[in-house]
Amino acid sequence: MTRLTEAQRAIVAATDGHLLVEAGAGSGKTTTVVHALCHQLGVASAPAGEPLSPVREPLTMDQVAAVTFTNAAAADLKRKLRQALRDAGRRDLASDVDGARIGTIHGFCGDLLREFALRAGMRPGQRILTEGEATALARECAHDAVREALERGDVPGLDALLHGRKLKDIQEWVTVASNDADRLARWASNGDGMREHETALVLVAQRALAMRRETLQREGALDFDEMLIATRELLRKDEVRHAIQRRLRLLVLDEFQDVDPVQRDIAFLLGGVDREDPAPVQLLLVGDPKQSIYRFRRADVALWNDVRARFSAGAGRVLSLNENFRSTARILGFVDRVIAPDAPTSGDGAEIAVAPYDVRYEPLIARGNRASLDTPVELGVLPPAEPRKPAKPGKEPEEGSARPAGAVREAEARWIARRIGELHAQGTRYGDVAMLFSAWGAVDTYADALREHGIPYYRLRSEGFWQAREVLDCRIALRAIRDPNDDLALVGFLKSPFVGVRDDTLLALTREARAGGVAMFSALRRVQRERGLLERGRTILERFGALRDRVGVHDLLDRLILESGYAAVAAL
């Protein structure tokens, strides 16, 4: 195992107080976060070296939240955390990772708003648009706003805006401007200082924003920006914030250099920064200010510098990961010579004053197998790499060379088949191995590889995931919980293993509903056949109908499957 650096050990061992971690590219940021999470969970997962002192009160998985910038980053963090827990022999915790609060800021806020919908002033069941839906709505409203301005001719300076510019470019500018309501309001208030075409752009963007808000209100939905603002306002309510703080003990916020002021406020509210909360959430904020480039998302390095100054003044601590495991000393030395002279630098660890928009330059130390700490730093141009030779017929391409997707899949299938063969030779039964696929298109490739290695197999089913019986049962149950008066969903739910009534009972229920001119759910109490099962189904729908807007879908399904006994029935 690799050895944690002293800086990494200091971050992993920090179990109280807020931390702002400056982590440069290739500095082992994700590894550090994974081991910090394991340490807080009471798992001794640190690599080789002197073991860390165990925490006095280990956290549980539901007391931890990790927020990343993308779904891909969240999936990667989950995968590495799960593997670290397995390597440490804690398969019980590894199985909990899929249900952990590890995801994007929008997913995290969405869960909080659904749980506290009424206190947030939202209607129960108010829908939160997906990222794709929100983007499509913003573009549609921008298109309609531009078209309406052209048809009515009521926007001053529109001719100046259209002159020499493509219509699709103007629509894209309107989309971007209307997506940032705060900045758009500032531009509008500074109308006297804008040129004619700029004034027209702001006016059209305001019209697009009004259209989008009207659509959201009409459909009872929230887009991402409104969801973040609603979450911030929710957390300003002391009783809500304290309730969340009692359950959530650690919040990891990755790529902190890309957050906007609202996201920063959400973290600070949970962490009790500048507040006298009795049990604030511990914050672990990780990022690289040199990569603060997403201005279209309102990311601003000045925000990072402000947080750094506040933590340095006592609100928390600031630590750095300044060792690079990805590059060589020659490359890093070249960067030092080119960039350092023109960048603010701490210089021998001493703090210096910098402008709010400046980024301190911290040299990185090369480490790892490809770099020696004793390698002299030289300024020069690296020699070009030798061109790769094409792979010989029948030979796999070299590692790192470009491969078609089909070739990668075939290589992966052969590797998996070999690995299954090794596990079998060590005593694992073939029947104890399962292969899961997100789609059925590539199954034949893996089946061929298993057959070539003499490994017996069978396909559990030929239909896709959404057509599996268990998945259909759960989807129908969720539809019935959402609307018990949906007769089709109610019949499917009562017939499924969740309840399990007979066909003659359903026929009697149908006749009773038609005779009374009411929905089937209203007629449940009038049918005497299988009275106990019908009453059980009605109770489940009422109980989970009251719960559905207070917990996430995965929690709702977990409780439904366990409390209804569905898992036991499905296992028969």
Give me the DSSP letters along 96-164.
TGGGSEEEEHHHHHHHHHHHTTTTTTPPTT-EE--HHHHHHHHHHHHHHHHHHHHHH--STTHHHHHTT
Residue 381 has pLDDT above 50, yes or no: no
Residue 493 has pLDDT above 80, yes or no: yes
| Of 285 and 194, the one with more pLDDT | 285
Mean pLDDT across 543-568:
84
Residue 485 has pLDDT above 50, yes or no: yes
By mean pLDDT, which of 17-21, 39-43, 329-333 is the weakest? 329-333
From residue 147, give the alpha-carbon distance in Å to each of 142, 156, 188, 315: 9, 15, 21, 50
Average pLDDT of the residues of the chain: 82
Q: Report the range out of 95-104, 296-305, 374-383, 390-399 with the highest average pLDDT.
A: 95-104
* pLDDT at 382 (0 to 100): 35
pLDDT band at 303 (very low <50, low <70, confident <90, very high): confident
By mean pLDDT, which of 90-94, 337-341, 394-398, 435-439 is the weakest? 394-398
| Of 178 and 298, the one with more pLDDT | 178
By mean pLDDT, which of 151-155, 370-374, 498-502 is the weakest? 370-374
Q: What is the CA angle 310-315-319, rounded to 5? A: 80
Residue 160 has pLDDT above 60, yes or no: yes
pLDDT band at 350 (very low <50, low <70, confident <90, very high): very low
* pLDDT at 388 (0 to 100): 46
Mean pLDDT across 527-539:
91
Q: What percent of the chain has pLDDT over 70?
A: 84
* pLDDT at 206 (0 to 100): 94
Residue 1 has pLDDT above 60, yes or no: no
Tell me, rounded to whole angstroms, the distance of Cα 100 from its chain centroid: 11
Mean pLDDT across 181-199:
82
From residue 124, give the alpha-carbon distance in Å to each of 244, 459, 504, 548: 19, 42, 36, 9
* pLDDT at 461 (0 to 100): 60
By mean pLDDT, which of 230-234, 299-303, 398-402 is the weakest? 398-402
Mean pLDDT across 526-541:
91
Residue 411 has pLDDT above 60, yes or no: yes
* pLDDT at 345 (0 to 100): 55
List CB contacts of 244: < 8 A, sequence separation 6 or more. Answer: 112, 235, 270, 281
Residue 290 has pLDDT above 70, yes or no: yes
Give the pairing of strands 250-253 and 64-68.
Answer: parallel
Residue 459 has pLDDT above 90, yes or no: no
The pair phi, psi for residue 66, each rounded to 5°, is: -130, 125
3 state SS of 102: strand
Instruction: Answer whether 32's CB lies under 8 Å from 50's CB.
Output: no
From residue 24, give the alpha-carbon distance in Å to each of 301, 344, 523: 14, 16, 64
Give the pairing of strands 221-222 and 250-253.
Answer: unpaired
* Amino acid occupying residue 194: M
* Amino acid occupying residue 61: M
Residue 365 has pLDDT above 80, yes or no: no
By mean pLDDT, which of 50-64, 177-191, 329-343, 534-548 is the weakest? 329-343
CB count in 10 Å sphere of residue 486: 18
pLDDT band at 354 (very low <50, low <70, confident <90, very high): low
* pLDDT at 292 (0 to 100): 63
What is the pTM assigned to this prediction? 0.58
| Of 93 and 364, the one with more pLDDT | 93
* pLDDT at 400 (0 to 100): 45
Q: Is 164 left (phi over 0), alpha (psi -120 to 50) or beta?
A: left
Q: What percent of the chain has pLDDT over 90?
A: 32
pLDDT band at 408 (very low <50, low <70, confident <90, very high): confident
From residue 7, give the alpha-carbon distance in Å to each of 12, 28, 323, 462: 9, 11, 9, 51
Query: Mind listing the pLDDT tens digit for each residue in 106-130?
Result: 888 888 888 887 777 776 666 777 6
The greatest distance separating any two alpha carbons of the chain, rounded to the nearest whole angstrom, comes to 91
Mean pLDDT across 176-184:
81
| Of 158 and 369, the one with more pLDDT | 158
Residue 376 has pLDDT above 60, yes or no: no
* pLDDT at 176 (0 to 100): 87
Q: Report how far residue 265's alpha carbon sits from residue 274's, in angstroms, rounded to the nearest whole number.
A: 11
